[in-house]
Structure 1
Amino acid sequence: MTSGGWIRRWFPERQIYLRSNGEIRGYAVSSRKQMILAGVAAVVGGWTLLASASVAIDAVSTRADQERAAQDRAAAERANADLQARLDSAVMRMSTTTGSLDDIARTVERRHAALTQVMGQFRGVPGARAALRPVRPASGDLTPGQRIMAVRLDQERLIARAETFAQSRAERLRLAFRLAGLNPAAYAAAGAALGGPLVEARDPRALAAILDVDEAFALRIRQAADSLGEMRDLADAADALPLSRPAHARTTSGYGVRFDPFNGRPALHQGQDFAAPLNTPILATAPGVVSFTGVRSGYGNTVEIDHGRGFKTRFAHLNAIAVQPGQAIAVGQRIGAMGTTGRSTGVHLHYEVWVDGRPQNPARFLKAGDYLVQQDH
């Protein structure tokens, strides 16, 4: 069958008759017009299916990550409960006659010094101060020897809580990376964030000698330090990512295919739009260095910030620019004011996130940032 025969078969010329006020009017819909309408319907339908599939995939991925994090937390809690049970059983067997009180006291002091090195690494970590507060054993009717052993038991509990806390926060950070569409393994090099003997001595026997503690406790210190190192690597990497919001404004248009507001044709929107009153402050979403300020075609007044590791953010349609190229920028710092310069239909911010030269969906990074804020409060 020829192409013309195929077209006439599927898109024959159709007559449409409309009756109004006793008059009948006829309209002819040609094969060409029908093909155009069918093409537009196919594009709109395909875009709708693609957008729906993307939302569904994001929802499934997020739910799976959250379930995995819940399972990890439950496993950590079970391990902590098992340790608690073993320690409670051990304390029942402890006797103040096991060595002299002076020997036990010196052991406790050395353990305390080792714990101090680990706990100092948690300074400034959200939630760590409350989670790792030492439990003061009640003196009550305990003998001096029993009080010393109670302190030693509390040290065991504290190092266990420190390890569990570090593992739990590391898992939350890994989930945030996955929400942003990033592989957390590429940002964690366990132990690199720590210094001193906690890193230099990988062998528990060597660490025990350096810290002057028993080997069993040195192993616990080593495990906690490893978990802490991974957590801090992920936290440092997260602090450098554009996870903050660029303005206190509502979202008006997201990333993806949309109909261009000027010509009505489908086009890829490479960023996310935020609307607010004229001159609303625009804020840096991560620390970095300003790599460009000025006018870009279609974008109007634009600021671009290089955050390192291949990350870049772009802020467009600004009414005013408050920074200059080469300037170091902190997260949350004001870099300009919202406007409607360039190819714009009204006052808004057009915000883009780029990774290794490719535009990303900013909503992923904002979702990851919101998740971490909720977890830290």
Structure 2
Amino acid sequence: MSMKRLARLRRSLEELFPERHLYIRSGGAMKGFVLTPGKQMAAAGGVAVCALWMGVATAAMIMNAFALTTGDREVARTEAKYERWIADRQARLNSAMAQLDASDGSIGAVAATVEKRHAALALLLTDLKDQPGAAEALTPAISRALAAPDANPLHRVEMVRISQEQLLDAADSYAKSRADRLRLAFRLAGLTPSTYIPAGSALGGPLIEAKDPRALAAVLDVDEDFAERVQHTAEGLSEARALNTALDRLPLAHPTENTPRSSGFGVRFDPFTGRPAFHSGLDFAGGFMTPIQATGPGVVSFTGVRSGYGNTIEIDHGGGLKTRYAHLQGIAVRIGQRVAVGQRIGAMGSTGRSTGPHLHYEVWVDGRPQNPDRFVRAGEYVLQGS
């Protein structure tokens, strides 16, 4: 069959490229050239290669032109953003300097405005007290406010005013990044943040009780624009605080210290039967009497022996969350006792269905076992941002 196909292909090519004779007359002499099918196919192939190359080159040029156009647009947008930012800052400075000129060199009015803004910022920064990373985030802005080198008292007062706005910008940026990071910690643990934050707890405090910025401006005796920015930042700080409080109630800590994990969550080969079986927690290997710690604050809901688990402790953390610590050698808490994160609750052992001393640790959400590793990793992520 293959020979017949080759023969048919050869006849088709010969019909497409039949032998041609080319005659050229020059100076009374006639010359003849024979164009065999092979020569014609070679020439056609060359033309096809050239056409393909030209097509590819043209397409590359068009794509490059489009890419340059997209890049130029992005550069233009970035430049426009910074130009607007610079123009806004310059407009604020020009407005303030115009007020200084109108006051005939008196700094009284401007100093009073700065003092009122300072009082508003003092209320706002009170909400930042003891917040992780807040001091590091705000220190550069505070340092700029204290480093005004201008000897002119009018200019120095205005530089303090501008630094107040920079401090407000830094606080707003910190609040947003902190809230985003805490929300991500919830998602790493497989939880929805809003489920563990009581309704209305994300809002509160004197700066955000007044929904209307005009009312807040009247209370603080500052301009409306500054009051609106203070209110927005206060809302962000309040949300971050509520998220942080909710996270503090979750079991995100390690149940033991400096002990390796010997088995993970999911299907594994059962050490007794040698068959695949579902493992509903994490195993941490260690020596007898290794301290076991509560991974989050809560109330002890069970102590005793459970089938297969041996000596067991269960802690209710609220919101449908429960942790279980099994195969213990000793139990150091009682039912109904309130425990804190990191508190010693028992000692590692090998009771129940166990092949050696280790801790079997489980996390339950609404009556279903979850992967404890997600909670441990979420806790490590939160600590990295502290």
TM over 0.5: yes
Residue among 126, 129, 132 paired with 1:126: 132
Aligned to 1:90: 92
Question: Displacement, 1:313?
Answer: 0.3
Amino acid across the alignment from 1:161: A
Aligned to 1:366: 376
Residue among 228, 240, 245 paired with 1:236: 245
Computed over aligned residues only, the root mean square deviation of the Cα atoms, in angstroms, reads: 2.2
For the pair 1:282 / 2:288, whether they are aligned, the reply is: no
Residue among 126, 148, 154 paired with 1:145: 154
**What SS does the aligned partner of 1:132 have?**
helix
Question: Displacement, 1:204?
Answer: 0.1
Amino acid across the alignment from 1:270: S
Instruction: State how far apart, in whole Å, the 2-side matches of 1:170 and 1:80 are.
Output: 26
Aligned to 1:116: 122
Instruction: State how far apart, in whole Å, the 2-side matches of 1:145 and 1:211 are.
Output: 24
Instruction: State how far apart, in whole Å, the 1-side matches of 2:210 and 2:82 are.
Output: 26
Q: Which runs of 5+ in 1 are unaligned?
A: 1-77
Instruction: State how far apart, in whole Å, the 2-side matches of 1:196 and 1:155 are.
Output: 21
Instruction: State how far apart, in whole Å, the 1-side matches of 2:111 and 2:87 are.
Output: 24
Q: Which runs of 5+ in 2 are unaligned?
A: 1-79
For the pair 1:158 / 2:167, whether they are aligned, the reply is: yes
Look at both structures and tell me which one has the larger radius of gyration over its CA atoms: 2
The 8 Å contact of residues 274 and 348 in structure 1, kept in 2 or not, is answered as: yes
The 8 Å contact of residues 280 and 369 in structure 2, kept in 1 or not, is answered as: yes
For the pair 1:167 / 2:176, whether they are aligned, the reply is: yes
Instruction: State how far apart, in whole Å, the 1-side matches of 2:155 and 2:137 are.
Output: 25
Residue among 217, 220, 227 paired with 1:218: 227
* Matched residues, number: 299
**What SS does the aligned partner of 1:197 have?**
coil
**What SS does the aligned partner of 2:101 have?**
coil
Instruction: State how far apart, in whole Å, the 2-side matches of 1:80 and 1:322 are.
Output: 61
Instruction: State how far apart, in whole Å, the 1-side matches of 2:177 and 2:217 are.
Output: 26
- CA distance 1:341–1:83, change in 2 (3 Å): farther
Question: Displacement, 1:343?
Answer: 0.9
Question: Displacement, 1:275?
Answer: 0.6
The 8 Å contact of residues 294 and 301 in structure 1, kept in 2 or not, is answered as: yes
1:300-347, Cα deviation, whole Å (9 max, x unpaired): 111111111111000011111111111111111111111111111000
The 8 Å contact of residues 196 and 319 in structure 2, kept in 1 or not, is answered as: no
Map residues 1-377 of structure 1 onto 2, 5 A cutoff: 83=85, 86-87=88-89, 90-91=92-93, 94-95=96-97, 96-99=100-103, 100-133=106-139, 134-135=142-143, 136-187=145-196, 192-193=201-202, 195-248=204-257, 249-376=259-386
Amino acid across the alignment from 2:325: F
1:206-230, Cα deviation, whole Å (9 max, x unpaired): 1111122111110001110111122
Question: Displacement, 1:369?
Answer: 1.0
Instruction: State how far apart, in whole Å, the 1-side matches of 2:341 and 2:297 are.
Output: 5
Question: Displacement, 1:98?
Answer: 4.6
Amino acid across the alignment from 1:309: G
Question: Displacement, 1:199?
Answer: 2.8
Which deviates the most, 367-376 or 240-249?
Answer: 367-376
The 8 Å contact of residues 80 and 164 in structure 1, kept in 2 or not, is answered as: no
Question: Displacement, 1:200?
Answer: 1.6
Instruction: State how far apart, in whole Å, the 1-side matches of 2:196 and 2:82 are.
Output: 27
Question: Displacement, 1:85?
Answer: 6.6
- CA distance 1:325–1:98, change in 2 (3 Å): farther
Instruction: State how far apart, in whole Å, the 2-side matches of 1:85 and 1:247 are.
Output: 56
Question: Displacement, 1:106?
Answer: 1.3
Identity %: 58
- CA distance 1:129–1:139, change in 2 (3 Å): closer
- CA distance 1:369–1:149, change in 2 (3 Å): same
The 8 Å contact of residues 204 and 238 in structure 2, kept in 1 or not, is answered as: no
Instruction: State how far apart, in whole Å, the 2-side matches of 1:113 and 1:194 are.
Output: 21
**What SS does the aligned partner of 1:331 have?**
coil
Instruction: State how far apart, in whole Å, the 2-side matches of 1:86 and 1:169 are.
Output: 27
Question: Displacement, 1:232?
Answer: 1.3
The 8 Å contact of residues 190 and 229 in structure 1, kept in 2 or not, is answered as: no
- CA distance 1:368–1:337, change in 2 (3 Å): same
